[in-house]
Structures are given as structure tokens and as C-alpha cells.
Amino acid sequence: MFTRLLVAFDGSDLSRRALDVGIELAQRLGAGLYSICAEDAVVVPATVPGYGPTESDDAEGGEAESGLVSLSEEARQLALAKGVAITATIISGEDDADAILDAISATQCDLLIIGLPNRSSPLEGIFPHTSTILEHMAPCSVLGIR
């Protein structure tokens, strides 16, 4: 069956449900449980007039990193409360989908658990949701939670 589970956790309601399912599956299967909290980098071309890094930009970056640490700790606490050990990873500044795909490879997970939005956006064809990319690109089984 499945021996290594990876949950993509961003703090949203859907990812919380995915984490709950991951914890329960890890418990029932005796599987290893991993979580990843990832955040996209915001890239602004240097040619944009008037843009330059400011002290507030640096502070916002620190807040984002702090938020990821908080999410990672939350995932750890939720798992430990149910007696499940979890290895939590934080990746900042990389495309979410790429970071999660890299984590699948690094942890050799055989099941990815993600939250799936109920509806797709009209822009889905142009800017696909991370979950859509992962459904098609993940090198392992994917369990989508709604």
C-alpha cells in the first residue's frame, strides 16, 4: 500500500482537511507523513518604473517566512496530537507546484494529498491552479480532498 504520504499545507480550509486525512491515513497505514508549506516568489522585472526593494518589502518577506514557520509548526502539532510523527518542510521563493514536485522526489512519497477547489477559475487555462498542475504532473498517486 502507501508507505510515505506528503500533504501540501498552506493553511487554507482545504489543506487543513487534506492534513486531517493525511494524519488519519498515516495512523491507519503506519506510513511516514510529510508536509510541505511552500510560497511563490513574487518576481517583478527590474524595468518596472518606480520599483525598488524597500525596507517594507524586506519586512513583508520576513512576515511571509514567519507565516510558513507557523504553518509548519501547526501541522506538526496537529499530527502529534494524534500520535503521528510528521516531517515538515518549508520552501519559500519557488513556484508552489515545482516545490511540491521536488518534495515528492526528495521524500520518495507514494501518495500526495492535496486540497482541490470546488470550482475552476475562468483563467484556469491561462493560470492553472497548483492542484491542477499537481494532478497532472505528480509522479505518484494523488488524493484530492474537497
Into how many domains does the chain fold?
1
The mean pLDDT of the chain is 82
Q: Please indicate, yes or no, if residue 37 is contained in any of the structural domains.
A: no
Q: pLDDT tens digit string along 6-52?
A: 999 988 899 999 999 999 999 999 999 999 997 654 443 444 344 34
Mean pLDDT of 80-106: 90
Cα(120)–Cα(76) distance, rounded to whole angstroms? 30
In a domain, 50, yes or no: no
Domain that holds residue 78: 17-30+71-82
- Of the pLDDT bands very low, low, confident and very high (cuts 50, 70, 90), residue 87 is very high
Residue 43 in any domain: the answer is no
